[in-house]
Chains A and B, each alone.
Chain A
Amino acid sequence: MMRHTQLNNEQLMRRVANGDAAALETLYEQYAPAVMGLALKMLGDRPSAEEVVQETFWRVWRNAESFCEQQGAFSNWLFGITRNLSIDIWRRGKARPQPIFDNEAEQQLENNPDPRADVSESAWTTIKHIQVRQALNVLPPAQREVVEMAFFGGLTRQEIAEKMGVPLGTVHTRARLGLQKLREALEAQGFEE
């Protein structure tokens, strides 16, 4: 298949909408590691995460015409699909989300890559990963925990309040301040979508 490495995401999506499978393959190679990382973090087991990766890109193919670049970046749309699928799976009880701060388990999952995989094309996502991790480290632990519980754990604000044993208002404040500080830290690092 012909590769389209010179095109940006929106141009690639227009081609995907016109039935260009090579354009979808290019997007897969750019984003599959990030999508897999996100699904793995949310579900905690590799087979379920790979199922999500497959379904995510299938939906990108099927729903390409519904993608509207005026409504946001392609990556936001893509990761939104991934999160929704992951939340669906663990709410059905097929997999359990990773504990938020269990870095050891996360490391174990991350350090178990597919030996046949070519990781050279995922270098740019690694740079973004480092920027976001550093920005997250700036947050006070309580704010970071709320943000991560919601985003990676898919917990509602009521569930977070119950789990942390704090009033709902406190959860609201922590989420608001957490996102605000995260934005400032990302801007300071020159993070670009």
Chain B
Amino acid sequence: MTEHLEELFPFYALGVLSAEEKAGIEAYVAVNPAAQAQLTEACQTAAALSYGVKPVMPSAQVKTAVLDRINAEVRRSALSPAAPPVAAPGFFERLWRSLQGGAVLPALAGLSLLVALFAGGWAILLNNQMAQLRQQNLALGQQITQQNETLAALSEQLTPLQAENRQLKSDLAAQNEALAALNEAVTPLQTENIGLKQELAAQAEQLAALQGQVTAQPQPENTVSAETVAALEAELAAQREQLATLNGQVAQLQAVNNNLGQELSTQRAVMAEVTSPDVQAMKISGTEIIPQAHGQLIANPGEEKAVLIVSGLPPLEPGLIYQFWLVQDGQLRRAGEFTVDESGLGLLQVITETPIGAYEAMGISIEPTNSADQPPNEMIMLGNFSS
């Protein structure tokens, strides 16, 4: 029952329980301070959720309507029925004077009219008061009904709580009996424990005596010979050499692996470039120096990157590289270096400062490595973008 009620605390806090469920929880926490604290905490947390929606300003008319309604009520309150209108004394003096002056009929008519108006106003006022009293009466009736419902819910809960209380008392008595039985059982165990401790102490003394005998006997000498040590050291040296060799092989394999990785990365970039939309291929051909060489620059003219693929070029000796050039406004600009594999195939990813379409031509020459400040050698391949 208790467990079930506490399960509902989050929903109480989130405001989605029925009146009956709410009444049950309120009755439960009223006599359980720990549960009350738990419920309050849940309510505070849930209340913070109201801020979880972004604040939105209502239109100005809403504020005006609220304040108008309030001000109207303030004015109504000021016109309290406790202060009925009072006629000015001057009026009655004037009326008396007119009666004395012989104008009796008009004066009586005026008086009757005044009384009728006053009675009408008073009746309206009384009606309003009666309506208000009826509303208050209705509200009080509703409150009484709600309180009766709450009372009924509380009464319903009382019976199971009483039963639970009786059960708890019965459990407590059973536990007290069990405790007494345990106390009785402990005494022989304590006696047995003392006997065991004494036995343990005797065994410890025997062990100490045996250890003294063992220490008094002579220890055997170390029998490991110098030859065995030398043999082990030699084996260790041989294993170290083998390890060094293996480390060297691993380093070589890593270097090969890195090269393959770079090559794979380049090929992926080439694939990406070749398959992208709006790509164009611009032909580059070998000059009379290496006439069999041919290739293509693949690029989107509007982008600042391209891929150069050439074949038919001989592998170069160490210290030499193929230099790729782009021509813009008649000026040669270095656009990347590359080598070729044994089959004469070379790949170069080209990154430029301006879109590829801004260049006029391209060329390839053979240059020494680190020749950045030197004028170019003769071109071995040429290509014109306009063609």
Q: Which residues from chain A sit less than 8 Å from chain B, CB to CB?
A: 19, 21, 24-25, 28, 32-34, 36-38, 40-41, 49-50, 53-54, 57-58, 61, 72-73, 75-76, 79-80, 82-84, 106, 109-110, 113-114, 116-119, 122, 125-126, 128-129, 131-133, 135-136, 147-148, 150-152, 154-157, 172, 175-176, 178-179, 182-183, 186, 191, 193
Contact = CB atoms under 8 A, between A and B. Distances in A.
Nearest to B6: A176
A103 to B, nearest CB: 11
Interface in B44-92: 44-63, 65-67, 69-71, 73-74, 77
Contacts of B60: 114, 116-117
B14 A24 contact: no
Contacts of A117: 57-60
Nearest to B78: A19
A129 B52 CA distance: 5
Nearest to A60: B66
A131 B56 contact: no
Given A32-B58, A129-B51, A136-B52, A150 B16 contact: yes
Interface string B1-20: 00000011111011111100
Given A152-B53, A157-B16, A183-B45, A54 B59 contact: no
A147 B69 contact: no
A84 B44 CA distance: 17
Interface residues of B, number: 43
Nearest to B66: A57
Q: Which of B51, B57, B61 has the most CB of A within 10 A?
A: B51
B331 to A, nearest CB: 54
A133 B56 contact: no
B269 interface: no
Contacts of B41: 183
B47 A76 contact: yes
B16 A155 contact: yes
A143 to B, nearest CB: 10
Contacts of A82: 50
A114 B57 contact: yes
Contacts of B73: 61
Given A110-B56, A150-B15, 11 more contacts: A36-B57, A53-B66, A75-B47, A106-B54, A116-B59, A117-B60, A150-B16, A151-B14, A152-B53, A154-B16, A183-B44
Given A28-B66, A157-B16, A183-B45, A114 B50 contact: no
5 contacts: A75-B50, A76-B44, A80-B47, A125-B51, A129-B55
